[in-house]
Structure 1
Amino acid sequence: MPYSSSLTDEEWVIIEPLLPKKKRTFPPKWTKREILDGVLYQLQNGCNWCDLPKHLPPYSTVFWHYKQWHIGRGN
């Protein structure tokens, strides 16, 4: 279910290469795009992380990636 904060395909093509890549031994349950949509939803709506819509990845997953990506930029 797309929200106004959801990435378009064109935006995703630009952003995907900027995200860190990890070697995986198994397929992830959630895609980076789904996780980033969760981050963008929270940032745009200002809701608590635990109040993300249920069809998005779990808030703990979204928040963990948000922290990793934020730390990764040197802040």
Structure 2
Amino acid sequence: MIIREFYSTDITDSQWQLVEPHLPKAKTGGRKWKTSLREILNAIFYMLRTGCAWRLLPHDFPKWRTVYGYFQPWHEDGTWKKLNRIFREKVRLKAGRNTHPSAGCLDSQSLKKA
């Protein structure tokens, strides 16, 4: 439950219901999580959207070290790639397309080296 002012980067209840089952679970035998995973995600999305530094996260989010302490392991263990794959496939299926793209397009720009 959010007990702070809503940010435009916060995930909605329906988005949370889609994401939550795919997040890593707490390890058995370890300490119980004191911080809401939803608030961790809200802080990560805020940071990514605004481009602020980790240390500059607003004070109404969990402490930046806590947020980064979730972000980095999820990067290393492939959680972000997994979430991206799952939701890319859902969006493509909803649009009536194959889950995997069959072609790609790249754009580049050339610059003269001085």
Normalising by structure 2, we get a TM-score of 0.60
Aligned residues: CA RMSD: 1.8
The DSSP-based 3-state class of the residue aligned with 1:53 is: coil
Q: Sequence identity, in percent?
A: 36
Higher relative contact order (CA 8 A, sep 6+): 1
Q: How does 1:14-53 map to 2 (within 5 A)?
A: 14-22=18-26, 23=28, 27-53=32-58
Q: CA deviation at 1:64?
A: 1.2
Moved over 2 A (4+): 23-29
What residue ranges of structure 2 are gaps of 5+ in the alignment?
A: 82-114
What residue ranges of structure 1 are gaps of 5+ in the alignment?
A: none
Matched, 1:72 2:77: yes
Normalising by structure 1, we get a TM-score of 0.88
Q: CA deviation at 1:25?
A: 5.4
In 2, the alpha carbon distance for the partners of 1:53 and 1:4 equals 14
Q: Which has the higher helix share?
A: 1
